[in-house]
């Protein structure tokens, strides 16, 4: 009871800190009171309406409204992999997690100087550790290296994917050599297991592991062996959930709609996804807005989905739910 009261007090104080703004106009006053009562004001909701070819046109885009949630991840220690640019989905998860009160440790692959530079664009400084998920010695030392920055982990984000060029694009499925396919599967799917087991010594009941998926229940144009890797990832998520559930650790995937990132640009024909998505997704979709995906990851990293594991949670504007 005392700790519930403490939490309530901390959240109230955080809310009031958040509210320390100059209010000098009626619209600012409306926004202020919207914040006080935790609601979005009409002004906050005045987001651009969809311009796509969908038959319903008068809806705001998903994830663009200010939710004014604060402290969702207060006190959480989260390891975020997969930042390479400030467009990376992982960058936006790290940013949203910090904004929600989490302490974030990043891992980077290859271009460490670049990742360290990008890390400086986060709201708060975050240490960056090197991690190539195909390097067993780096995986073996990960827990000790994380311990230099934090005494444990409450959450882990796997936001890693790569496939050699031979695995993607027209004709790739029938011609890609096994060595390339094996690389795609190791980096994009098997590494979900490798990263999870590497982080396990740092985790305790209540922990949450989240991976980034592109729903591969059907064959897509161009996605080819990366799609197969995503199907493997979906299966690995279920097996991890089975084996880590008894330890109180949840494992889930966020199936994101297409967002313009470095990995997305490497997919030949990515534009076809972009064109299709906004027209079909009931909520609409903006390929330049990573925030709905980042928020969904934060929700899964929080304590608010305590009975959800082995699941694929869509953050795709509802594209998966409807036909043409």
Is there binding between residue 184 and ligand NAD (CB under 6 A)?
A: no
For the bound state, the minimum distance from the C-beta of residue 322 to ligand NAD, rounded and expressed in Å, comes to: 18
For the bound state, the minimum distance from the C-beta of residue 22 to ligand NAD, rounded and expressed in Å, comes to: 36
Quick one: which of 130, 132, 243, 275 contacts ligand NAD (CB under 6 A)? 132
**239 has catalytic annotation:** no
**223 has catalytic annotation:** yes
Quick one: which of 163, 189, 214, 317 contacts ligand NAD (CB under 6 A)? 214
Catalytic residue among 35, 76, 95, 223: 223
For the bound state, the minimum distance from the C-beta of residue 228 to ligand NAD, rounded and expressed in Å, comes to: 13
Which spans in 105-261 are helix H?
112-119, 136-147, 172-175, 178-185, 191-199, 224-244
Quick one: which of 172, 264, 301, 312 contacts ligand NAD (CB under 6 A)? 264
Most distant pair of Cα atoms in the chain: their distance: 65
How far apart CA 107 and CA 110 sit, in angstroms, is: 10
Point out which span in 2-10, 143-151, 197-205, 252-260 binds ligand NAD (CB under 6 A). Answer: 252-260
Rg (CA), the chain: 20
How far apart CA 315 and CA 257 sit, in angstroms, is: 6
Is residue 199 within 8 Å of 153, Cβ to Cβ?
yes
Q: 49: which DSSP letter?
A: B
Mention every residue, 6+ apart, whose C-beta is less than 8 A from residue 103.
76, 77, 78, 150
How far apart CA 128 and CA 81 sit, in angstroms, is: 9
Which residue lies nearer to ligand NAD by CB, 64 or 134?
Answer: 134
SS3 211: strand
For the bound state, the minimum distance from the C-beta of residue 213 to ligand NAD, rounded and expressed in Å, comes to: 6
Query: Which tokens sit at 85?
Result: 């640019």
How far apart CA 119 and CA 102 sit, in angstroms, is: 15
Is there binding between residue 252 and ligand NAD (CB under 6 A)?
A: no
Q: Annotate each residue in 109-128 with x if it binds ligand NAD (CB under 6 A) or - if it does not, as one string.
A: x-------------------
SS3 293: helix
Q: Annotate each residue in 140-179 with x if it binds ligand NAD (CB under 6 A) or - if it does not, as one string.
A: -------------------xxxx-----------------
For the bound state, the minimum distance from the C-beta of residue 73 to ligand NAD, rounded and expressed in Å, comes to: 20
Sign of the Cα pseudo-torsion (244, 234, 266, 169, in order):
positive
Which residue lies nearer to ligand NAD by CB, 111 or 147?
Answer: 111
Is there binding between residue 258 and ligand NAD (CB under 6 A)?
A: yes
Which residue lies nearer to ligand NAD by CB, 41 or 291?
Answer: 291
Is there binding between residue 228 and ligand NAD (CB under 6 A)?
A: no
Select from 265, 182, 267, 178 the least CA-distant residue to 222: 267
Quick one: which of 166, 216, 261, 302 contacts ligand NAD (CB under 6 A)? 261
Catalytic residue among 35, 230, 239, 247: 230
Q: Torsion-angle region of residue 20: left (phi > 0), alpha (psi -120 to 50) or beta?
A: beta
SS3 137: helix
Which residue lies nearer to ligand NAD by CB, 160 or 244?
Answer: 160
Which residue lies nearer to ligand NAD by CB, 263 or 301?
Answer: 263
Which residues are catalytic, by number?
Answer: 223, 230
Using CB under 6 A, list all residues that contact ligand NAD.
82-85, 88-90, 109, 131-134, 159-162, 187, 212-214, 256, 258-259, 261-264
């Amino acid at each position: 009871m005392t700790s519930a009261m403490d939490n309530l007090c901390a959240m109230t104080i955080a809310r009031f800190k958040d509210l320390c703004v100059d209010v000098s106009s009626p619209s600012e006053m409306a926004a202020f009171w919207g914040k006080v009562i935790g609601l979005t004001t009409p002004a906050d909701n005045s987001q651009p309406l969809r311009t796509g070819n969908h038959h319903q046109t008068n809806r705001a885009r998903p994830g663009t409204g200010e939710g004014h949630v604060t402290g969702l991840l207060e006190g959480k220690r989260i390891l975020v992999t997969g930042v390479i640019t400030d467009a990376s989905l992982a960058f936006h998860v790290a940013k949203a997690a910090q904004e929600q009160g989490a302490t974030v440790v990043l891992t980077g692959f290859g271009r460490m100087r670049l990742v360290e530079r990008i890390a400086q664009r986060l709201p708060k400084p975050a240490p960056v550790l090197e991690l190539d998920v195909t390097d067993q010695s780096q995986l073996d030392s990960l827990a000790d290296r994380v311990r230099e920055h934090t005494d444990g982990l409450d959450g882990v984000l796997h936001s890693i994917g790569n496939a050699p060029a031979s695995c993607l694009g027209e004709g790739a499925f029938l011609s890609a050599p096994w060595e390339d396919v094996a690389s795609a599967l190791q980096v994009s799917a098997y590494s979900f297991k490798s990263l999870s087991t590497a982080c396990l010594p740092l985790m305790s009941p209540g922990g949450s592991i989240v991976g980034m998926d592109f729903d591969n229940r059907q064959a897509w144009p161009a996605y080819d062996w990366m799609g197969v890797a995503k199907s493997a990832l979906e299966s690995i998520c279920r097996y991890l959930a089975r084996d880590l559930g008894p330890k109180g650790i949840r494992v889930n995937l966020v199936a994101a709609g297409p967002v313009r990132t470095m990995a997305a640009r490497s997919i030949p024909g990515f534009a076809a996804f972009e064109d299709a998505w906004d027209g079909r997704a009931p909520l609409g979709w903006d390929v330049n807005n990573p925030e709905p995906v980042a928020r969904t990851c934060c929700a899964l990293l929080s304590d608010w989905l305590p009975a959800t594991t082995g699941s694929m949670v869509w953050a795709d504007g509802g594209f998966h739910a409807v036909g043409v």
